[in-house]
Amino acid sequence: MTGTARLVFHVIPYSAFETKPQINLKTLEEDIWSLSLIYSSISSYRYNLDGLIAYNNKDNNSTGAYTQLYRNGIIESVSTTVFNSAEGNPYIPSIVFEQELIEALKTYISTHQKLLISPPSVLTLSLVGVRGYKLAVSQRLDAWHNHIHVIDRDSLLLPETIIEDYAIDPAAILRPIFDAVWNSAGWPKSYGYDESGEWGKGSNFHR
């Protein structure tokens, strides 16, 4: 993979740990483009020993993002493209980061529904190689650019959360994970949410 910082996202259905999970991968073959990548687009896919993998081709046989659907229904999505740098200062674009994960979770839930995989499922998110990264936020939150807290460790292994019902808003499911990402950069919570808990209405969206 390109880059050193990586986002690693897993959706793990409880049914994956049954003795013989029955997943028909060919169910997705005609709709492979719905198996989305995080902050990238699918350029190719193939079957592999683990199941079905979709990815974005780069030069020199490398990729910036892939999504692996395992035979037991686990979905693993890895991306390096969501990270950025300005004048040598690495950062995570907070709005894009959250929006991409919300949209990805929507598609992965849809994938599980197509495969007749029922909840509950466990969500895990890890950020690897992010020591020294800053969380880029709205000017309203950091008008003078003096919020200098950076992530103080190489790997963030964030709290797991559970999908109990597919009807729950993905933004609500992901909120504890987003709060932990903001905590890691010195903020008390994700400001993508307003006081009522609606994502996209928080102070991070106001200049």
**3-state DSSP helix/strand/coil % of the chain, to nearest 5:** 25, 30, 45
Q: How far apart are CA 160 and CA 149, in angstroms?
A: 24
- In the chain, what percentage of residues exceed pLDDT 90? 71
Query: What tens digit of pLDDT does each residue of 21-50 get?
Result: 678 888 887 777 778 899 998 888 999 999
Its pTM stands at 0.93
Whether 134 and 88 have beta carbons less than 8 Å apart is answered as no
CA distances from 107 to 27, 37, 100, 102 (A): 15, 10, 11, 9
Whether 78 and 5 have beta carbons less than 8 Å apart is answered as no
The mean predicted confidence, pLDDT, of the chain is: 91
pLDDT at 176: 97
Helices in 23-131 by DSSP H: which ranges? 94-114
The number of beta carbons lying within 10 Å of the beta carbon of residue 100 is 22
Query: What tens digit of pLDDT does each residue of 93-142 get?
Result: 999 999 999 999 999 999 999 999 999 999 999 999 999 999 999 888 87
Whether 47 and 38 have beta carbons less than 8 Å apart is answered as no
Is pLDDT of 188 > 80?
Answer: yes
